[in-house]
Amino acid sequence: MPPLVDLFSDTVTRPTAAMRRFMCEAEVGDEQQREDPTVNRLQEMVAELLGKEAAMFLPSGTMCNQVAFAVHCRPGDEILLHELAHPLLYEAGGAAALVGAIFRPLSGPRGLFTAEQVRAALRPAVHYMPRSRAVSIEQTANIVGGVCWPLAQVEAVCAAAHGAGLVCHMDGARLMNAVVSTGTPARSFAAPFDSLWMDLTKGLGAPVGAVLAGSRDFIEEAWRFKQRFGGAMRQAGIVAAAGIYALRHHVERLAEDHERARALARGLARLRGIAVDAERVETNIVIFDVRGTGLSGDEFADRTLTSHGVRFSVIGPTTVRGVTHLDIPEGGIERALEAARATIGG
Ligand SMILES: Cc1ncc(COP(=O)(O)O)c(C=O)c1O
């Protein structure tokens, strides 16, 4: 039986009935020939939203990162990114395997790093060192708790990178969460980047897909890698329609997810033995530590799931993550808090 309250990730959302109806009616064509009208419409919508010349629909955010790195980098090039960034931890070494690029992990509180760190990490242009080629940032920074990169910091990091001849890429898996949380327009966040993408499948609730954007030249070159990596599709309008629906109907409601995440964090903070910085929850991800309860993260999550039907994910020995999204039922946060309370016996 599926969990009653699934806080595992915002990737667990299922398309709503209205989204499914919209998908059924989508006009389709051969996407690989660029003849699918629904895919083309989605790409235009995202290019417009992000203020870029062009965009490209891809099956996943992971493929967006890999395609962008492939366009930007040659084998041996170095990509600067946070040490907890998704491409470094969770993309099966794709940048090394597919592109031949290496990562230069930067540390920094809450998934962020600074322009000074970028400048300090740059390699001198000598033949025996890797070439510093790209900076990649994650908006929002996932594994540290859905943290929004402030616009001024984004601009400073990109200015430092561009000043040294690097390109800038944004993994915008949850860009729209940052937009809704901060009130900063997507175009403003996107402006300093040579390439960026947004996921349709996370908080936006579509079943498949992400959209990569950049200059016309960047997207033209990206098509070569979309084809090479097996991401060129056929009647993909069926799934792209879900993205169009999501952009029209599921963006503003992200505010509800953020409110629920804050309610979850505030409730957890009141439980004995659970440590969480409720005031710092900015979007839909809550990270908390159960060390003080005497349980491991696995024990805590196993018990809330098996005894109460509430699923969390475990991201460290005593670190647990709860993510809110549009499939959390009414009363779901109260139920999750009750499950946590009963599990720790407090
Ligand atoms: C920050 C971040 N980047 C990239 C991805 C990969 O996206 P996808 O699951 O669409 O491949 C994820 C997925 O969880 C993510 O959280």
Question: Would you say the CB of residue 171 lies under 6 angstroms from ligand 1?
Answer: yes
Mean pLDDT within 20-43: 98
The string of pLDDT tens digits covering residues 116-140 is 999 999 999 999 999 999 999 999 9
Q: Is the pLDDT of residue 345 over 90?
A: no
Q: How many CB atoms lie within 10 A of CB 163?
A: 12
CB of 149 closer than 8 Å to CB of 85 = no
- What residue spans of 10-97 are helical by DSSP H? 17-24, 37-50, 61-72, 86-89, 94
Q: What is the pLDDT of residues 171-196, one digit of tens each?
A: 999 999 999 999 999 999 999 999 99
What does the alpha-carbon distance between residue 271 and residue 266 come to, in Å, rounded to a whole number?
9
For residues 138 and 93, give the distance between their C-alpha atoms in angstroms, rounded to a whole number: 17
Pocket lining: 284 vs ligand 1, CB cutoff 6 Å: no
- DSSP 8-state assignment for residue 97: I
Please identify which residue in the block is written with the tokens 């965009």.
55
Please tell me the pTM assigned to this model: 0.97
Q: Is 62 in the pocket of ligand 1 (CB under 6 A)?
A: yes
One DSSP character per residue, 154-209 reads HHHHHHHHHHTT-EEEEEETTHHHHHHHH---HHHHHTT-SEEEEESSSTT--SS-
Over residues 322-334, the pLDDT tens digits come to: 999 999 999 999 9
What mean pLDDT comes out for the span 306-314? 97
Tell me the CB-side half-sphere exposure of residue 291, using CA atoms within 13 A.
Answer: 8
Considering the chain, what is the average pLDDT of its residues?
97
Q: Is the pLDDT of residue 87 over 90?
A: yes
Name the residue among 239, 168, 179, 250 with its Cα closest to residue 210. 239
pLDDT score of 2: 80
Block residue for tokens 């790093």: 113
Distance of CA 11 from the midpoint of ligand 1 (Å): 9
Question: How far is residue 86's CA from residue 129's CA, in Å, rounded to a whole number?
Answer: 25
Our measurement of the distance from residue 213's CA atom to the centroid of its chain's CA atoms, rounded to an integer in Å, reads 15
Q: Which of 8, 90, 110 to mutate for ligand 1's pocket (most ligand atoms within 8 Å of CB)?
A: 90
For ligand 1, atom 12, name the residue with the nearest CA. 173
Distance CA 151, CA 155 (A): 6
Strands across the sheet containing 319-323: 285-289, 319-323, 313-314
CA pair distance 152, 61, nearest whole angstrom:
25
How much is the pLDDT for 346?
Answer: 64
Query: What's the pLDDT tens digit per position in 276-288?
Result: 999 999 999 999 9
Residue indicated by tokens 């004995």: 272
What is the arithmetic mean of pLDDT over 16-27?
98
What is the model's pLDDT at position 3? 86
Does the CB atom of residue 210 touch ligand 1 within 6 A? yes
Residue 139 Cβ contacting ligand 1 at under 6 Å: no
Please, what are the domains in the chain? Answer: 15-249 (3.40.640.10), 253-344 (3.90.1150.10)
The stretch 266-276 carries a mean pLDDT of 97
Is the pLDDT reported for residue 266 higher than 80? yes
Cα-only R_g, the chain = 20
Q: Other C-beta atoms within 10 Å of 42: how many?
A: 29
User: Which atom in ligand 1 lies closest to the alpha carbon of residue 141?
Assistant: 1
Q: Is the CB of 222 under 6 A from ligand 1?
A: no
- Give the model confidence (pLDDT) of 34-49 as tens digits: 999 999 999 999 999 9
